[in-house]
A and B are shown apart, each in its own frame.
Chain A
Amino acid sequence: MSGDSFTAGTFSGSNLACRRGGRLVFTGLAFSLPAGGALILRGANGSGKTTLLRLMAGLIPPTAGHLAWSDQPLDDSDEHAAKLRFVSHLDAVKPALSVAENLSFWSALWSGRIDDAATLRAMDAFGLRHLATFPGRLLSAGQRHRLALARLLVAPAPLWLLDEPGNALDEASLGALTAAIADHRGRGGSVVVASHGSAFVNDGNTLDVGTFTPKTAVHWSDDADEESAA
């Protein structure tokens, strides 16, 4: 890790609402994430954790409300995107490229130069060094996911958005992820983790997305009425 720290400020959202496929997933949702902070997203399946993460990444525009950096509402999605790294449940690993090539592509794309040292550090952090020349197609699901997590380290960005980052990881890799997040926060980086299980952070605010789901009474069919009565 290089010693540089982040000065991006507080990432926040206010009065956020999101409509997906005609349904209001959540409404009136607000959060504030200071530099070095952590936010853990909880909630049942379908409560909108992934939707909220994609909204935070700028992939989904909010139906209402806005995101802000240090209280400045963000108006340029590209500028926002440059400040974040997003790890979704899709690993974005190219089967025809080796582990090292996969990482150095993202390193070059984000930092604008080929940074072999950063690529090596990222591979070391997630125990991928011995697989460096292996093509992506030979990796197991867990190894592919570690490669996706290693992308976080090839080029620094202040905000990490992690969707179920512990999926398919073994004990050692869970430890590596916890260490990486602690180090990132130590340098003023912030992290949002959507997770059912361990959140990989010692202290952090918890946001239950399910509590922002609008509770509308639906009287659609007879058995719906029965269920709501029961």
Chain B
Amino acid sequence: MNVFSTLLARDLKLAIRQSADSLTVVAFFAIATVLFPFGVGPETNVLERISGGVLWVTALLAALLSLDRIFTVDYEDGTLDQLVLTGQPLSIVVLAKITAHWLTTGVPLLIVSPLLAVTLHLPTAGYAPLLLALLLGTPTVSLVGAVGAALVLGTRRGGVLLSLLVLPLYIPVLIFGAMAVEAATTGRSATPELLVLAGFAVLAVTLCPWATAAAVRQAVE
């Protein structure tokens, strides 16, 4: 049992015991997506055209709403102090928490996305790239989001501020995620976009735990 697996197991246990939190995020994803046909009209050709982008935007917003779960509770009840003092590298500790966030937010969003894609008439060719893009893109969303979540610990208006910090940084993932779907539905190969998303994930997993650890350290200081 090392620090990573111990902490991951605890966070997953907490998420399962408080599964309403994860379900709320998924429910938000669904309701926000369903708003679009009301906004732009139910015509199949319009919805087809925007489905990939809409799913990505709503998935990002849903993930954004769940980011404060990563650290806020631990910060407020004193657990974060103790986690800084485990004697193990803090980047491993935060990586465990980020992994737990991805498993309890990114993966559920990934699972329900095909259902929502049906309501937006996503062309058949778009499903595989959508799932692959979400699989490669949502880890980056959790990793980058964790940096923001750690930075706003102890602020007066954490939630709104967090979106201002994190959403501009999500734009690259949004661009390539949505374009992967678009490429496939317009007969192009989605491979380049998917490769870029994979590159982003590799970059994020090497840099973000480190930046998050620095942010956590200054938060408990």
Contacting pair B221 A96 (CB below 8 A): no
Contacting pair B81 A92 (CB below 8 A): yes
Q: How many Å from the CB of B95 to the closest CB on chain A?
A: 15
Given A60-B221, A112-B2, A113-B1, A81-B77 contact (CB < 8 Å):
no
Contacting pair B6 A86 (CB below 8 A): no
Indicate the size class of the contact surface on chain A. Answer: 20 to 34
Q: Which residue of A83, A110, A113 has the most chain B CB atoms within 10 A of its CB atom?
A: A110
Given A81-B87, A109-B86, A90-B14 contact (CB < 8 Å):
no
In the complex, which residues of chain A have a beta carbon less than 8 angstroms from the beta carbon of B90? 78
CB of A105 closer than 8 Å to a CB of B: yes
In the complex, which residues of chain B have a beta carbon less than 8 angstroms from the beta carbon of A57? 81, 85
CB of A82 closer than 8 Å to a CB of B: yes
Given A81-B85, A92-B81, A59-B7 contact (CB < 8 Å):
no
The chain A residue sitting closest to B16, CB to CB, is A96
Main secondary structure on B side of the interface with A: helix
Main secondary structure on A side of the interface with B: loop
Contacting pair A92 B79 (CB below 8 A): yes
CB of A114 closer than 8 Å to a CB of B: yes
Contacting pair A114 B221 (CB below 8 A): no
Given A78-B88, A82-B87, A109-B81 contact (CB < 8 Å):
no
Q: How many Å from the CB of B124 to the closest CB on chain A?
A: 42
Contacting pair A84 B1 (CB below 8 A): no
In the complex, which residues of chain A have a beta carbon less than 8 angstroms from the beta carbon of B77? 90-94
Q: Which residue of A78, A84, A114 has the most chain B CB atoms within 10 A of its CB atom?
A: A78
* A24, B208: Cα distance in complex, Å: 33
Contacting pair A110 B86 (CB below 8 A): yes
Q: Which of B6, B18, B220 contacts A108 (CB 8 A)?
A: B6
Indicate the size class of the contact surface on chain B. Answer: 20 to 34
Contacting pair B78 A91 (CB below 8 A): yes
Contacting pair A92 B78 (CB below 8 A): yes
Q: How many Å from the CB of A152 to the closest CB on chain B?
A: 12
* A112, B6: Cα distance in complex, Å: 8
CB of A88 closer than 8 Å to a CB of B: yes
* Mask of B1-33 contacts with A, CB within 8 angstroms, 1/0: 111001100100110011000000000000000
CB of B154 closer than 8 Å to a CB of A: no
Q: Among residues 206 to 221 in chain B, which have CB atoms less than 8 Å away from a CB atom of chain A?
A: 220-221
Q: How many Å from the CB of A225 to the closest CB on chain B?
A: 34
The chain A residue sitting closest to B17, CB to CB, is A96
Contacting pair B6 A109 (CB below 8 A): yes
CB of B192 closer than 8 Å to a CB of A: no
Q: How many Å from the CB of B150 to the closest CB on chain A?
A: 15
In the complex, which residues of chain A have a beta carbon less than 8 angstroms from the beta carbon of B10? 94, 97, 105
Q: How many Å from the CB of B214 to the closest CB on chain A?
A: 13
The chain A residues found within 8 Å of chain B, CB to CB, are 57-61, 78-79, 81-84, 86, 88-94, 96-97, 101, 105-106, 108-110, 112-114
* Complex A-B, nearest 9 residue pairs according to Cβ-Cβ distance, in ascending order: A90-B78, A82-B87, A92-B78, A96-B17, A81-B85, A92-B79, A81-B87, A108-B6, A109-B6
Q: A59-B220, A109-B86 are in contact. List 18 more A-B contacts (CB 8 A).
A: A59-B85, A59-B221, A61-B221, A78-B89, A81-B86, A82-B86, A84-B85, A86-B81, A88-B78, A90-B77, A91-B77, A92-B78, A94-B10, A94-B77, A101-B13, A110-B87, A112-B2, A114-B1
**Could you give 24 example pairs across A and B, Cβ below 8 Å?**
A57-B81, A57-B85, A58-B85, A59-B220, A78-B88, A81-B84, A81-B87, A82-B86, A84-B85, A86-B81, A86-B82, A88-B78, A88-B81, A90-B78, A91-B77, A91-B78, A92-B79, A96-B14, A101-B13, A105-B10, A108-B1, A109-B86, A110-B86, A110-B87
